Amino acid sequence: KSPSPAAAEAKSEAAKSVKIGIYFATWWALNVVFNIYNKKVLNAYPYPWLTSTLSLACGSLMMLVSWATKIAEPPKINLEFWKALFPVAVAHTIGHVAATVSMSKVAVSFTHIIKSGEPAFSVIVSRFLLGERFPPAVYLSLVPIIGGCGLAALTEPNFNMTGFMGAMISNLAFVFRNIFSKKGMKGKSVSGMNYYACLSMLSLLILTPFAIAVEGAHMWAAGWKEAVSEIGPQFIWWVAAQSIFYHLYNQVSYMSLDEISPLTFSVGNTMKRISVIVSSIIIFRTPVQPINALGAAIAILGTFLYSQAKA
């Protein structure tokens, strides 16, 4: 006997939830590994412009090989696609390098506490630059987000202005990335995986000359020697791990964006930050003061209230 339509629908809903659950768990796990290796590399080798470039280069190479060997179907794209992608790539590049510069200066947990304030930037940009209006509950949810981030920043024992500003600039850039991305993806039949691959390649082209200008081969070579003598030859595996995991977590996040609404995505992203904050505090033995943790908790609670208010 065939199942009733209601039972079949319930089954497909359950299968969808399991699929999204698997995407989320994979995304968070990959992100935690990226953050840990990225910080281990930055502690020994403080060249965030180079490590950001290597992450993009590694992802671009992985995708070119996947296309060439037909592991992934290459996208059918034209010049229009690249033109629409350009502003997304500029924002992605700025957001990526700014977050990495931030993590080179402060604890990973601090960068991610400030990055949990991204919804506040989204509302402010949408309201003042795009003229969008929101219900009062959305504006109210910004109070705990901004207040919590502010409290965490004020009570951060190892506060550093570059670290703080890097995370703030990253928030702003990623809001623009999401706005441009939505426009650029409209009506296009490029999968999330291939969209992110093209984004990495274009960002790599944009970032490379700036990385050379800001840091440069001279510094990189001298720093590399020091890092290898301090850490040993396994240092190269740390660099490889941070680069590979950077690509993988972003790829999975763009793949899940194909399946879920931007709102579910932003809730998932906030929960991802909680796993990064907690795991990095444990692994790097970051000292935590109760008042500082309270600020982080208020900010994160605010992002949940924001998603509820927007829903």
Contact status, residue 104 vs residue 269, Cβ threshold 8 Å: no
CA distance 63 to 59: 6
Task: For the CB of residue 171, give the shortest distance to ligand 3PG in the complex, in Å.
Answer: 8
Member of 36, 88, 91, 99 binding ligand 3PG (CB under 6 A)? 99
CA 264 to chain centre: 15
Q: Which stretch binds ligand 3PG (CB under 6 A): 13-21, 95-103, 220-228, 295-303?
A: 95-103
Task: For the CB of residue 282, give the shortest distance to ligand 3PG in the complex, in Å.
Answer: 18
Q: Does 40 bind ligand 3PG (CB under 6 A)?
A: no
Residues 6+ apart with CB under 8 A from 75: 190, 191, 194, 195, 197, 198
CA distance 33 to 99: 16
Name the residue among 78, 80, 27 with its Cα closest to residue 251: 27
CA distance 224 to 284: 22
Task: For the CB of residue 43, give the shortest distance to ligand 3PG in the complex, in Å.
Answer: 15
CA distance 67 to 50: 26
Q: Which stretch binds ligand 3PG (CB under 6 A): 4-12, 13-21, 92-100, 256-264?
A: 92-100
Total residues belonging to the chain? 311
- Applying CB under 6 A, the site for ligand 3PG has a residue count of 5
Q: Does 100 bind ligand 3PG (CB under 6 A)?
A: yes
List binders of ligand 3PG among 150-189 (CB under 6 A). Answer: 174
Q: Does 199 bind ligand 3PG (CB under 6 A)?
A: no
Member of 115, 177, 247, 310 binding ligand 3PG (CB under 6 A)? 115
* Interface contacts to ligand 3PG, rule CB under 6 A: 96, 99-100, 115, 174
